[in-house]
Amino acid sequence: MTWETVTLDIDDDVATLTIDRPESLNALTVETLEAMEAALADAADAGVRALVLAGAGDRAFVAGADISYMTDLSTPEAQGYAELGHRIAETIETFPAPVVAAIDGYAFGGGSELALAADLRVASEDAVIGQTEIDIGIIPGWGGTQRLARLVDDGTARRLVFLGERLDAEAAAEAGIVGEVVPADEFDERVDALAAELAAKPAFAMRAAKEALNAAHEGSTAAGMALERRAWSGLFGTHDQREGMRAFVEKRDPEFE
């Protein structure tokens, strides 16, 4: 499944969506965002159990949105572009399986925002991450102010947004933006292993866990707790719940659907 600037590869239960504009550091044009939307829908329809987001080449995950396109936008046009970016980020955030952002090289602006929408972020030691929009006269517009502020402490979020600071991989890990940093020559292998590990988990439980975790950032604590109770109890009676618990009691590896 291939578009002009996006590829979608499905291997067993793992999908890899690659933004394929290495000559432009994988900057996100309208066409690329629309292709991503279609690819995400195809991956969901295929019932994959894990999704990897990646950028082609080794210089950038995604260097940001298409600045040449944005330069002369009117306010209504900018609103439409923001809505498109928000829609893609929300689709990543609510994708029915865990999403891993494989950050190798630059992840600036809109690229950082797409990574923030993923469930897990793995960075190569060459990664550099930043919300750099302030330096071109704007602010994060695809959910970055909200997702960053709930991921790191308030002071760090403000420094990144106000100053456009760029963090290397280790600093991003210390701030809590990425979960692990991997040597460049081991990066692809580690991402593949993590995606395979996620895909081997019970799919219904993973989906319920993701929905409950996302709810923790929406509405009241009471509403999130109620959702968690419903999701937890709803897993009882499924094959994976029965098999997982029986395998534990019987001291063997489970065979999930």
Annotated active-site residue 133? The verdict is yes
Catalytic-labelled residue, pool 37, 113, 165, 180: 113
Query: Can you tell me which residue has the tokens 């999701």?
Result: 231
CB 255 within 8 A of CB 243: yes
Integer Cα distance of 206 and 183 in angstroms: 28
Residue type at 195 in one-letter notation: A
Catalytic-labelled residue, pool 31, 83, 133, 211: 133
For the chain, the helix, strand and coil percentages under 3-state DSSP, each to the nearest 5:
50, 20, 30
In this structure, what token pair is assigned to residue 35? 């292709």
Integer Cα distance of 180 and 188 in angstroms: 13
Strands 14-19 and 6-11: antiparallel
Strands 166-168 and 128-130: antiparallel
Residue type at 73 in one-letter notation: L
Annotated active-site residue 250? The verdict is no
**49 DSSP 8-state letter:** S
The CA-based diameter of the chain, rounded to the nearest angstrom, is 65
**Mapping DSSP to helix (H, G, I), strand (E, B) and coil, where does residue 47 land?**
coil
CA torsion 174-180-184-185 (nearest 10°) is 150
Catalytic residues: 113, 133
